[in-house]
Amino acid sequence: MRGAEIAFLFALGLTAPVGVAAQSLSPMKSDVVTFGDKGSVRVYLRNPYVNARRFTMDVFNLDWEPVNDVLYSSRQLSLAPGASTSVFVVAPLSGERSRQFYVCATSRAYRGGGAGVKGQVCGKYRLIRYAY
């Protein structure tokens, strides 16, 4: 149990490289090495709209199916115009040596006229288990 806790903490510490918070989602691609069965990615989210917006974070596999057992530092968040924040996402390797997935930030829909449009930005990340 203690070993599992330590492995998880290591996994938390090995985050993706820090990007510049200048766009909607950054970085858009990264490899993360982890010692445990989970790995974490830190993404920077920025609200490019001229008014406050609500965003939802999701994780999908490469077939765009939702990934279960994911931890988010914030799953839903509101950002002021031009504001940015970072979000930690901890995803499982599920016993595999490496796993690719998308982390997506989706804005609330712009409605009116019957056909609403919402924007979604998805970065692609790969977790790699460290080989001893």
Partner 1 sequence: MTNIRSGLTIFGASAVMIASGTSHAQTADVIFNGNIADACTVVADSPGTLAVNGTNTLLASTEAGGGPGAATVTASSSTFEVTVDAPTGFDTAPAGSDTNTTFGTTYDASGATTASSVAGTTATALGAGVTTLAVNASATKSSGIYESGSYSLTTTVRCAAQK
Sites of contact with partner 1 (CB under 8 A): 19-20, 22-29, 46, 48-49, 62, 102, 104, 106-107, 109-124
Of 2 and 29, which has the nearer Cβ to partner 1?
A: 29
Question: What minimum distance in Å lies between the beta carbon of 120 and partner 1?
Answer: 4
Q: Tell which residue, 73, 74, 68, 123, has the closest CA to residue 91.
A: 68
Q: Is the peptide bond before 27 cis (omega within 30 degrees of 0)?
A: yes
Question: What minimum distance in Å lies between the beta carbon of 19 and partner 1?
Answer: 4
Question: What minimum distance in Å lies between the beta carbon of 1 and partner 1?
Answer: 37
12 membership: H or E segment, kind and range:
helix 2-13
Of 45 and 70, which has the nearer Cβ to partner 1?
A: 45
Q: How far apart are CA 62 and CA 100, in angstroms?
A: 7
Question: What minimum distance in Å lies between the beta carbon of 123 and partner 1?
Answer: 6
Of 39 and 123, which has the nearer Cβ to partner 1?
A: 123
**Contact criterion met (CB below 8 Å) for 73 and 90:** no
Of 13 and 116, which has the nearer Cβ to partner 1?
A: 116
